[in-house]
């Protein structure tokens, strides 16, 4: 059965954030000539969609409910008195997604019990637990919970609800640690309410979810399926055929399109014939905003079994796609880049441990911490959006060396040793005739942990000129310059230098200390070592943050001074001009911006926004600022691409040379970070506008998701996860896809750490 297209009258207003890009949606039964390219296949992307099926009862303590529990839930389903299934709501709030296929007033019936007063920490007290219910950002009401399992009714007006998945937040007045309730007294999860059930009054009849069929989708009546995407401007929706299946004689497919700023029904496909392709205007879209497309099957003439069947539903590019317009100098610039890499130039990576980008002058810092690095940036290509692959050293360096994401190289925890089968940058360069040498000053990347693969020489500098915890950049320079003077001049070289200042403990020397610190008094070494374990309530946090930041800046200035000496030596010895030189960092440092000090504990920008300066041979591209996002895994393929050396197939990063040549920004480019250290397990994904951080279901936050707008809120102060549902879901899908696309490729083993290395790692805070 064929359906015509009936287009409703659409309002003429557009979204609050506009772009000149417009989309059109077309449904076509056939096409003349070659079809336009497919940009989104609804059948192939079915695993990343969300089924839209109303449920009268959601039994929260059952596996069937888990897909709807999105945040703030314990990871164990439990039973009360061996009968009632339940899950503890943990943290500040629990979030459940409520699927609806039609907007209407609803009554929610929630069943749960608060933590019994007898099980609470005596110091916490036992006030009545009050839960605030927030629906799609609107406060629907408060309920005060009584002892034991009770049911609580809440009327929700139609204006708060929408077709699709509705976000229902259960915000808790208090969430104490338990005292005698748990067998494990070290369990620090903050439990609030044991939730057993959510029930809808006035439910829709239950129905199976949409399912893929051969080359199509089958959507039962009364259900739907949701997709999120960033469609290119001018995209059109097409299907080879639409039909009704089951015992129905008529029905229609409702197509809805939404951003986080607006939602509307775009059109319906009804029975009665076929009109052919008809363009349907969509809201003007910000190209950085994802959209949600919902396909709903509606029965006509009463309830009936069956539904709508779509054959080959896809998004296609605009009928007359416009190729990106590259600047006229792009081809010439790319040719110059390729030419610069001929002849096997020297390669030098200078990594400054714990250096956040926003404390360098070239990245906008207001203090003069980095005059030498800033001067070097004038000779280099500066990447303004460079992301660390993790929030601590070993994982990040493993990604730099292998071009693999942390899930794939699997070097994530404290004892992890990289596989001996890893193909590293040093491995490839040595196979192509390079003398490969590394001098490191952080034991976290010592040969003990397998990071020496491919290096002819790899030296962990342990000797001390003073009583300092680690060898600093002045001594690193001495060893590096001594090696450069004695090297075999007939072989090209790859030199990796890993400096550890400004890593804590912050012990800047004169005169750098005096440039940034007004008083001559600063914390003793023991105080610094214990700082990150001291409760914030016991300190004047703003004053301490200011003092520690000054010490940190002084250490950056110390490192910068000695980096300048290295550059001057390279210039004096006719090596600077020809060398491919990358300045990078493994991660940044936190000064309590989000309630934590140091690193290895979060994925906020203060930890993963790092500098990347690439000086090409002959200073090709000097002074360019590239806004295209970059990340650690891109270093290896960029270097090999410039040297015209084949990039290993397993490498997951990409060469940045095309971005340097074009100077353009792809708004769909994403970077990711991953942290699996001790009990922490975090992952993030970000575009040039938005960033999502996901916590695991098993930690004390119960699967918390955070969403930030990096354009309007670069310091990540306003969590938008509760109000930007489309953007949140889009980035969650991107994380899902990233996890599937990055299987574990290497098998790590547990490193054997000798006593001396253990002492040095303990001094740096890596062994407790």
Q: Which pLDDT score, from 0 to 100, does residue 495 have?
A: 98
pLDDT beyond 50 at 181: no
pLDDT digits (tens, 9 = 90+) for 94-150: 999 999 998 899 999 999 999 876 665 555 556 788 999 999 989 999 999 998 899
Band the pLDDT of 464: cuts 50, 70, 90. Answer: low
The average confidence (pLDDT) of the chain is: 83
**Cis status, amide bond into 502, omega within 30 of 0:** yes
User: Which whole number is the average pLDDT over 394-408?
Assistant: 96
> How many residues are present in the chain?
768
Q: Is the pLDDT of residue 418 over 80?
A: yes
Distance in angstroms (rounded) separating the CA atoms of residues 61 and 59: 6
Does 615 score more than 50 pLDDT? yes
Q: What is the pLDDT of residue 535?
A: 56
Paired strand residues for 135: 138, 168
Please check whether residue 635 is in contact with residue 415, taking contact to mean a CB–CB distance below 8 angstroms: no
Q: Give the residue from 189, 195, 188, 67 showing the smallest Cα distance to 131.
A: 195
Average pLDDT over residues 185-213: 75
- Residues 701-713, mean pLDDT to the nearest whole number: 87
d(CA 566, CA 564): 5
Q: Is 119 exposed, middle or buried (0-12, 13-18, 19+ CB in 10 A)?
A: middle
pLDDT over 90 at 506, yes or no? no
Angstrom distance (rounded) from CA 416 to CA 234:
48
**Rounded CA separation 540/525 (Å):** 19
Q: What is the pLDDT of residue 344?
A: 92
Range 702-718 average pLDDT: 91
Q: Residue 32: pLDDT above 50? A: no
pLDDT in tens, 724-735: 999 999 999 999
> Token match 């916490």: residue?
124
pLDDT of residue 358: 97
**Mind listing the pLDDT tens digit for each residue in 289-311?**
898 999 998 887 766 788 888 88
Look up residue 465 and give its two tokens.
């000129």
The burial class, CB within 10 Å (0-12 / 13-18 / 19+), for 754 is exposed
- Higher-confidence residue of 557 and 666: namely 557
Residues 506/591, Cβ–Cβ less than 8 Å: no
Mean pLDDT of 312-337: 75
Q: Tell me the percentage of the chain whose pLDDT exceeds 70.
A: 80
- Listing DSSP states for 585-636 in one string gives -S---EESTTS-EESSS--SHHHHB--EEEEPGGGTTTT-EE-S-EEGGGHH
Helix (H, G, I), strand (E, B) or coil at 752: coil
Q: Where are the alpha helices (DSSP H) in 319-468?
A: 330-340, 371-379, 393-402, 406-409, 425-431
Task: Inform me whether the pLDDT recorded for 64 exceeds 50.
Answer: yes
d(CA 98, CA 198): 9
Question: Domains of the chain by range and CATH?
Answer: 5-48+207-316 (2.60.120), 54-201 (2.60.120.260), 344-666 (3.40.720.10)
pLDDT score at 224? 93
Residues 73 and 169: beta-carbon distance below 8 Å = no
Q: Distance (Å, rounded) from C-alpha 121 to C-alpha 182?
A: 12
Distance of alpha carbon 131 from alpha carbon 141, whole angstroms: 9
First vs last Cα of the chain: how many Å apart? 70
Distance in angstroms (rounded) separating the CA atoms of residues 330 and 490: 34
Hey, how many other C-beta atoms are within 10 angstroms of the C-beta on 73? 25
Per-residue pLDDT at 698: 53
Kindly tell me if the per-residue pLDDT of 325 is higher than 90: no
Main-chain phi, psi angles of 298, to 5 degrees: -115, 135
pTM: 0.87
**719: its two tokens:** 């969590």
Instruction: Record the tokens describing residue 682, joined without a space.
Output: 């975090």
């Amino acid at each position: 059965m064929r359906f015509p297209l009936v287009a409703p009258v659409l309002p003429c207003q557009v979204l609050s954030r506009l772009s000149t890009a417009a989309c059109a949606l077309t449904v076509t039964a056939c096409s003349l000539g070659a079809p336009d390219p497919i940009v989104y296949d609804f059948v192939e992307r079915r695993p990343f969609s969300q089924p839209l099926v109303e449920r009268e009862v959601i039994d929260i303590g059952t596996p069937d409910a888990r897909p709807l529990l999105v945040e703030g839930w314990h990871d164990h389903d439990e039973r009360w008195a061996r009968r009632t299934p339940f899950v503890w709501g943990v943290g500040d709030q629990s979030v459940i997604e409520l699927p609806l296929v039609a907007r209407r007033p609803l009554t929610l019936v929630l069943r749960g019990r608060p933590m019994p007063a007898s099980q609470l920490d005596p110091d916490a007290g036992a006030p009545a637990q009050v839960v605030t219910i927030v629906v799609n950002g609107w406060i629907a009401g408060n309920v005060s919970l009584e002892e034991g399992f009770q049911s609580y009714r809440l009327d929700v007006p139609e204006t708060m609800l929408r077709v699709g998945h509705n976000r229902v937040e259960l915000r808790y007045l208090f969430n104490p640690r338990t005292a005698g309730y748990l067998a494990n007294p070290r369990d620090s999860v903050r439990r609030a309410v044991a939730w057993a059930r959510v029930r809808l009054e006035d439910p829709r009849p239950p129905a199976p979810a949409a399912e893929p069929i051969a080359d199509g989708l089958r959507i039962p009546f009364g259900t739907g399926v949701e997709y999120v995407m960033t469609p290119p401007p001018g995209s059109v929706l097409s299907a080879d055929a639409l039909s009704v299946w089951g015992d129905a004689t008529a029905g229609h497919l409702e197509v809805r399109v939404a951003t986080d700023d607006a939602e509307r029904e775009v059109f319906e496909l009804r029975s009665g014939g076929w009109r052919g392709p008809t363009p349907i205007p969509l809201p003007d879209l910000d190209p950085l905003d994802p959209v949600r497309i919902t396909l709903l099957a509606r029965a006509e003439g009463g309830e009936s079994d069956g539904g709508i069947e779509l054959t080959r539903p896809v998004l296609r590019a605009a009928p007359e796609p416009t190729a990106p317009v590259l600047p006229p100098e792009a081809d010439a610039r790319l040719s110059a880049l390729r030419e610069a890499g001929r002849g096997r130039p020297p390669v030098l990576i200078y990594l400054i441990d714990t250096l956040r980008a926003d404390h360098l002058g070239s990245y906008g810092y207001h203090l003069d911490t980095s005059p030498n690095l800033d001067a070097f940036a004038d000779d280099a290509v500066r990447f303004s959006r460079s992301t660390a692959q993790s929030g601590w050293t070993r994982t990040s360096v493993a990604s730099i060396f292998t071009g693999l994401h942390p899930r794939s190289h699997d070097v994530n925890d404290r004892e992890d040793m990289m596989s001996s089968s890893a193909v590293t940058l040093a491995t490839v360069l040595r196979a192509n005739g390079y003398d490969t040498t590394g001098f490191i000053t952080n034991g976290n990347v010592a040969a003990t942990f397998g990071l020496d693969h491919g290096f002819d020489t790899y030296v962990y500098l342990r000797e001390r000129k003073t009583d300092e915890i680690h060898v600093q950049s002045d001594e690193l320079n001495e060893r590096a310059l001594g090696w450069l003077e004695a090297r075999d001049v007939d072989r090209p070289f790859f030199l990796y230098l890993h400096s550890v200042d400004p890593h804590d403990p912050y012990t800047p020397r004169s005169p750098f200390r005096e440039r940034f610190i007004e008083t001559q008094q600063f914390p003793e070494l023991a105080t610094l070592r214990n700082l990150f374990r001291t409760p914030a309530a016991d300190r004047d946090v703003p004053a301490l943050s200011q003092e520690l930041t000054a010490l940190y800046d002084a250490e950056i200035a110390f490192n910068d001074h000695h980096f300048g000496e290295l550059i001057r030596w390279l210039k004096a010895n006719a090596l600077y001009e020809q060398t491919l030189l990358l300045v990078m960092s493994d991660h940044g440092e936190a000064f309590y911006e989000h309630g934590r000090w140091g690193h290895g504990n979060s994925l906020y920008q203060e930890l993963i926004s790092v500098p990347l300066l690439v000086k090409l041979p002959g200073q090709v591209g000097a002074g360019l600022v590239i806004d295209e996002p970059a990340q650690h895994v891109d270093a290896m393929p960029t270097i090999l691409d410039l040297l015209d050396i084949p990039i290993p197939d397993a490498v997951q990063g990409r060469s940045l040379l095309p971005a340097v040549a074009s100077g353009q920004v792809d708004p769909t480019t994403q970077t990711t970070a991953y942290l699996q250290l001790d009990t922490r397990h975090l992952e993030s994904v970000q575009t040039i506008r938005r960033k999502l951080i996901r916590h695991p279901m098993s930690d004390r936050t119960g699967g918390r998701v955070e969403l930030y707008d990096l354009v309007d809120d670069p310091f990540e102060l306003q969590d938008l996860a509760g109000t930007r549902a489309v953007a949140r879901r889009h980035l969650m899908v991107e994380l899902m896809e990233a996890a599937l696309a990055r299987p574990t490729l290497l098998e790590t083993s547990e490193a054997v750490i000798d006593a001396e290395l253990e002492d040095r790692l303990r001094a740096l805070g890596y062994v407790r």
